[in-house]
Structure 1
Amino acid sequence: MSQQRNILNALQDLTEEKFREFCHVLTALDEQPRVRTSEVEGKSRVKITELLVSRFGQSGALSRTITTLRDIGCNNEAERLEPSLSRDDSSPTPRNDPKELLSSVRPDFVKNVSGAVLDQLLDRLLRQKLLNKGEMESAKQKGRAEKARYVVDTVLGKGPKAASFLIKEYCELDPRSELCDKLRL
């Protein structure tokens, strides 16, 4: 099943109220590329799915959808989408695309990254202006696994340079991890 179909199915599972909240949170994020309120107002779930995929690409749209679902408390819907991140239909070899590579190891990253390494990554991402202060504060309020998901999903939404930076910094901080071996470009 395509990532676009997975996203659409998740949005179709939302109540009308949760769908409106999803659209609101999507526009409230201060990340680039930005989604404007006028782009989502009165749009159907199909149109929102198309917007997400056209703006962020297949895996970026999937990551943004998962993050936004979690932000509105739809954790079950987010969890149903997570396995889709590791099997991107559009790219059988993610090695040449840092975003695809990071997406492909997201579940392992969430499971294995330590809190100490995660905090150092957050500091480095902020220093490089790949996270803003609001995103940093939001991350700090989460538990380790949720923080790891948030960091990966936020970085994926920022583009390939941000993903490449996260991969490089992670491997510098935890060079002997199995995950780092998978991430080496």
Structure 2
Amino acid sequence: MSQVSMAELVVAVRAGQLICFPTDTVPALAAAPTQAEQIYALKQRQANKPLILMGAKAADLWPFVQTENPAFSTWAEMAQRYWPGALTLVLPGCNIPPAMTPLNPGTIGLRVPCHPLALALLQQTGPLATTSVNRSGLPALTDVKEIETTFPQLLMPLAAEWQMNQETQPSLPSTVIAWTGQGWQTLRAGAVTLHGMTT
């Protein structure tokens, strides 16, 4: 049975298993950061496509960022403005598990989702390596039954919990912006539209 309780999800991901859970954008395929290679294997994902580290709050993610960088206050301001929310920040990183960014160890994508179930889970597990639920190159799966059929080995929340706020869930992925050293560069348009951003 792939649908399990929240407590069982927490135990599973701590034990190194892959899990799936809803977010404010598309559902997330997730693993402990040190087990991120399992995500690449399951999705048949190229190593040059890094994963996103998702956490319950910004303070949980800053240990993976170069907080001594002079631009840190700018990054923190952007996070305060849009988190929790559908914005991923790609920043100069540190202490990054090699499995998360095998070909680009210098930066890391970070996000705090705006979804009660996702936040409740992340509060218990700590930051998780995440991406969309799909085979690489195919559209992201958003339907629970499709996910169960395509990836029967994945553990996910019970259907009743999954549907929490489901009616407000957009089909777009998160917007991804990266710090270039001089300003922000949009890497992927998505659910968040940024206004007045310096690029």
Asked if Structure 1 and Structure 2 have the same fold, meaning a TM-score greater than 0.5 normalized by the shorter chain, the answer is no
More strand by share: 2
More helix by share: 1
**Higher RCO (CA-CA < 8 Å; seq separation 6+):** 2
TM-score, structure 1 length as denominator?
0.29
